[in-house]
Amino acid sequence: MKSEKLIAKSVREIKPSGIRKFFDIASGMKDVISMSVGEPDFVTPWNVRQAAINSVERGLTHYTSNSGLPELRRLIREYLNDRYDVHYDMNDILVTVGASEALDLAFRALIDPGDEVLIPAPSYVSYEPGVKLAGGVSIPIVTEEKDDFVIKPENIEKVITEKTKLIIIPYPNNPTGAILDKEDIIRLQDLVLKHDLFVIADEIYSELTYSRMHQSFAEGFEDRTVLINGFSKAFAMTGWRLGYAAGPKEIIQAMLKIHQYTMLCAPISSQYAGVEALSSEMNRDYSQIREMVRSYNRRRVFLVDSFRSMGLPCYEPKGAFYVFPNISPTGLSSEDFCTKLLLEKKVACVPGTAFGESGEGFIRCSYATSMLNLEEAVKRIRDFIGGLN
Ligand SMILES: Cc1ncc(COP(=O)(O)O)c(C=O)c1O
């Protein structure tokens, strides 16, 4: 029997990630500047690494409770309360293997076959496959540059059916860098109530905002929201695989049921690192995070200005660490632009289409890389565009 026939239909039908594709091509080439992967170039702060080392030295090498260390969940509760005025009981918080696992658990706990899930587009690459693997149907809600890539309630109204169950609210957004303001949130919350929907809010970039403090969708809306966040982005901890979900008790218990049979718990040393990351930042008024954000901000401003000076319209991102310039004036498709740029100038970006069809005409450039790299990348992109005319 051909082994591909053994692969489940739902898995056969999902495409490999368009981000990884460009990253993999780039990693096989020399002298490439990569703006393709969304992970901080900062190393995890030393005090956090030290806490994990200490935990290993003390012999803390076992499983934790399935939900996660009580100390960590207490801190997450305090952090959400202190930072975003969001209130969940510590027993309604589940520590997961990255925000990625939290998303997967939420999909599997909430989706029955055929349930429709509304997903702003363009959006993070994992939502659509995650929904499909859980048996759901993704319904994209296109967001546009002219609306600051904010999801419009009237566009949601048009696609709601009796099968619509969930809406993903992914702000600050990857890849656009869009955020929601209070009025947007209120309008969307009204719509959620009107149609009796439930929300999965992916707020993994909540600490990385540039125009103002993040406003959580879960604030005052805790009973309708599974809030997903984690340590990867704000604490420069991608490799530790530490995230969490907070939500209504019954839903977190359902997610816990899957988690205890599949993952058991997040790695214990990562959880001790997380305790240190949260407690030290809370004690120093988030100054280490603010320092990183200041650095990202310098790069953000540089990239937006650079793309605009090349004649490419570029939405000014308000959060995360990506710019999403409009490359349609070049006449190239997103995929062609990125392929040619990589092969001819050795700069790796991601085609907007990796984030859904509505990303056609855009590319995503991560500025989580050094200013030196960004300056060289901009020089090469300028040359590339100059060569097209
Ligand atoms: C919007 C979004 N959600 C979730 C994740 C996954 O985060 P984690 O590393 O915590 O699994 C990412 C990673 O790039 C992301 O961009």
Tens digit of each residue's pLDDT (9 = 90 or more) over 75-109: 999 999 999 999 999 999 999 999 999 999 999 99
- Residues with Cβ within 8 Å of residue 377, at least 6 apart in sequence: 33, 35, 347, 365
Last residue of a domain, one of 259, 283, 307: 283
> Can you give the pLDDT at residue 287?
93
Residue 321 and residue 272 in one domain: no
Region 15-23: mean pLDDT is 78
Residue 108 and residue 184 in one domain: yes
pLDDT confidence of 138, banded at 50, 70, 90? very high
Last residue of a domain, one of 248, 263, 283: 283
- And the tokens for 149? 């890539």
Q: Enter the DSSP assignment of 329.
A: G
Distance separating alpha carbons of residues 264 and 261, to the nearest angstrom:
6
> Can you give the pLDDT at residue 242?
98
Q: What is the Å distance from ligand 1's center to 58 Cα?
A: 31
**For residue 16, pLDDT beyond 90:** no
Cis peptide bond N-terminal to 175, omega within 30: yes
What count of other Cβ atoms lies within 10 Å of the Cβ of residue 48? 26
**For residue 15, pLDDT beyond 90:** no
What count of other Cβ atoms lies within 10 Å of the Cβ of residue 324? 27
Residue 223 and residue 311 in one domain: no
**23-32, 265-274, 324-333, 353-362 — which is least confidently predicted?**
23-32
Ligand 1 site, residue 98, Cβ cutoff 6 A: yes
Q: What is the Å distance from ligand 1's center to 122 Cα?
A: 15
> Can you give the pLDDT at residue 159?
96
Domain of residue 264, residue span: 58-283
Mean pLDDT of the chain: 95
**For residue 1, pLDDT beyond 90:** no
Residue 296 and residue 268 in one domain: no
**Phi, psi values for residue 185, rounded to 5°:** -65, -45
Region 255-274: mean pLDDT is 98
Ligand 1 site, residue 168, Cβ cutoff 6 A: no
Residue 137 and residue 248 in one domain: yes
> Can you give the pLDDT at residue 123?
97
- In terms of Cα–Cα distance, which of 160, 158, 154 is closest to 196? 160
Q: Enter the DSSP assignment of 369.
A: S
Distance separating alpha carbons of residues 122 and 140, to the nearest angstrom:
8
Residue at 51 is within a domain: no
Q: What is the pLDDT of residues 315-338, one digit of tens each?
A: 999 999 999 999 999 999 999 999
pLDDT confidence of 47, banded at 50, 70, 90? very high
pLDDT above 90: percentage of residues in the chain: 91
Ligand 1 site, residue 238, Cβ cutoff 6 A: yes
pLDDT confidence of 37, banded at 50, 70, 90? confident
pLDDT confidence of 134, banded at 50, 70, 90? very high
Ligand 1 site, residue 366, Cβ cutoff 6 A: no
pLDDT confidence of 5, banded at 50, 70, 90? confident
Last residue of a domain, one of 283, 312, 336: 283
Ligand 1 site, residue 177, Cβ cutoff 6 A: no
Residue 181 and residue 64 in one domain: yes
What count of other Cβ atoms lies within 10 Å of the Cβ of residue 37? 18
Region 349-360: mean pLDDT is 95
Closest atom of ligand 1 relative to the 205 alpha carbon: 1
> Can you give the pLDDT at residue 17?
80
